[in-house]
Structure 1
Amino acid sequence: MLSSTAKSPLDDVAFLARSEHRVTALDALARRPRSRADLRTLTEASASTIGRTLREFEERQWIRRDGHQFEATQLGAYVVTGMRELMDRVETEQKLRNVWQWLPTEASGFTIEMGSSAVVTVADTDDPYRPVNRFVSLLRKTDRFRFVGFDVALLEPCKDELSQRIIDGMHTEIIDPPSVAKYVLSTYTDHCSEPLESGNLTVRLHDDLPSYGVSLFDDRIAISGYNPQSGTVQVLFDTDAPEAREWAESTYESYHREARSLTFRPTVE
């Protein structure tokens, strides 16, 4: 039977959600015993607010008192763990809410959970190259780079940096549609010839690639979403989560198996 403080589970959820310090306080008490002064310092709430919060926790049997110390009961720890999980889920959803359309679908094996620790870099009017700049920062930290997709808008703005990194020894493999490979090779002949001749760059061709790009670096993976209306990369999603890495490796290998090698014929002067 529910206590007099709550009529339904939603009442207790609303009680915790109405003030951020309540979740912070209960979470702290679930980790170890603390005094009122500890909680005031931690939450920056007033003495009266902390006192009222502790009384409400006690009414719900979420905490117990031992002298001047308070600690969470098993019930309180159970509730705050669920609340933290809910807040983490909503935080992830908020990060992805306006860019989800540019990311892989669930049918590809990609899941929302993979975004829980991701860095999500979104282009805006004032800085349309934010995703590209984030991509370049990742490129500078890797010794091996693999990419699958037709995202010319991601690779083209950093062609000088990419070319030099390959010449300097970064082992690179790119899987492109034939039309994109032809465009890049014909438009940026000088940028492509030396990297290809260095032996550090392999280009493979595939006729049916996804609408997004997948990049694999030494320590992170990235997904780039291209907006055909603006002609720019709308979002770069990068993470070091193991499940995301596994998905990216599997996705890349599935296209790699079906791709064919590009035969490069250097221009003879």
Structure 2
Amino acid sequence: MESALEEIEFLALSPNRVEVLTLLAEEPRTRRELAELTDASQPTLGRILGDFTERTWVVREGSDYVATATGQLVAAGFEDLLDVLDTEATLRGVVRWLPTEALDFDLRRLSSATVTTPSQVRPNAPVKRALDLLGEAEDVHIFSYAFNEQSLDVIHDRTAEGAQTFRGVFAASAIDALADDSQLRARLLELLETETVEIRITDEAVPLAATVADDTVHLFLRDDNGLLQASLDVTDEAVHGWATERFERYWDDATPLDPDDL
């Protein structure tokens, strides 16, 4: 373990070492090519290549430096470690609210996520982020335990304009909450009359409020008391595939919302 940590430290203390090893793991390169692709000076490159050769991470073949099998292994492993740490940095402030039991994909897929949290000047920032995505998307799928007034308004207006198709699966309690308000019930009935809109309800527990807006997946993050604490959105293909599959599963098991039931 100690020697492994020493090798990690050896790489981590020099961004140039990481960059050179990564470049050589991609393909053989000459010393001149490495100099052109990095900010390393010739003396620095000489030391790095010497250290890598000593560790048998690279060998020289003519004018090229080539990563060995173990050099490629180290490069891949260090890249994985960087991905993990990038993801941790992204999620550090919101991990306590992340519904990890429902997110059955590699969390490293969230390393590029946009995290939105409330602030004193923007207390509604997570909801505003969701509304912005809804206001731009042409195709929207939602599965959620809630359906708020602002989202209903944006979806109503976008679909009425013919600018959006919408399918939603909501917990029965979410629709009941809208139906209890006469104005929102009327708005929902208008929405159901739109040709590009389909809504279904489910009695199954829906642990997430997830929106698939074109290529973007958006999640609301709430605490144990149901209070909205943050949101995150990501365009990763694997996350999009997960959200689409989860939506279709809820959709297949749900019941079409009948206007007469409102």
Corresponding residue number in structure 1 for 2:113: 119
1:15 positional shift:
0.8
Corresponding residue number in structure 2 for 1:51: 46
Structure 2 residue identity aligned to 1:56 = D
Q: Does 1:202 align with 2:202?
A: no
Spell out the pairing of 1:229-240 with structure 2 (5 A cutoff).
231-232=227-228, 234-240=230-236
Q: Does 1:64 align with 2:67?
A: no
Q: Does 1:88 align with 2:74?
A: no
In structure 1, distance between residues paired with 2:128 and 2:36: 39
Spell out the pairing of 1:169-248 with structure 2 (5 A cutoff).
169=162, 170-185=164-179, 186=181, 187-189=183-185, 191-227=187-223, 231-232=227-228, 234-242=230-238, 244-248=239-243
1:190 positional shift:
5.2
1:74 positional shift:
2.6
Distance change in 2, residues 1:147/1:54 (3 Å): same
Distance change in 2, residues 1:266/1:113 (3 Å): closer
Q: Does 1:149 align with 2:112?
A: no
1:24 positional shift:
0.7
Equivalent position to 1:249, from 237, 244, 253: 244
Distance change in 2, residues 1:233/1:10 (3 Å): closer
In structure 2, distance between residues paired with 1:209 and 1:150: 8
In structure 2, distance between residues paired with 1:234 and 1:191: 27
Residue aligned with 1:8, SS: helix
Corresponding residue number in structure 2 for 1:160: 153
Distance change in 2, residues 1:228/1:246 (3 Å): same
Corresponding residue number in structure 2 for 1:76: 71
Report the RMSD for the aligned CA atoms in angstroms: 3.2
Distance change in 2, residues 1:189/1:130 (3 Å): same
Equivalent position to 1:259, from 240, 254, 257: 254
Corresponding residue number in structure 2 for 1:3: none
Residue aligned with 1:175, SS: strand
Percent of paired sites with the same residue: 29
Q: Aligned pairs, how many?
A: 258
CA contact (8 A) 2:172 2:201 kept: yes
CA contact (8 A) 1:104 1:110 kept: no
CA deviations on 1:229-250 (whole Å, 9 max, x unpaired) are 69435112333424x3443234
CA contact (8 A) 1:103 1:223 kept: no
Corresponding residue number in structure 1 for 2:25: 30
CA deviations on 1:17-68 (whole Å, 9 max, x unpaired) are 2222211111112223334444344332344333222221111121223565
1:225 positional shift:
1.8
Structure 2 residue identity aligned to 1:181 = I
Residue aligned with 1:212, SS: coil
Residue aligned with 2:71, SS: helix
1:258 positional shift:
4.0
1:228 positional shift:
6.8
- Please, what TM-score do these two structures have when normalized by structure 1? 0.78
Structure 2 residue identity aligned to 1:23 = V
In structure 2, distance between residues paired with 1:112 and 1:33: 31
The gaps in structure 1 that reach 5 residues or longer are 1-5
In structure 1, distance between residues paired with 2:213 and 2:224: 25
In structure 2, distance between residues paired with 1:58 and 1:149: 55
1:181 positional shift:
1.6
CA contact (8 A) 2:116 2:231 kept: yes
1:118 positional shift:
4.8
In structure 1, distance between residues paired with 2:39 and 2:128: 37
Distance change in 2, residues 1:217/1:27 (3 Å): same
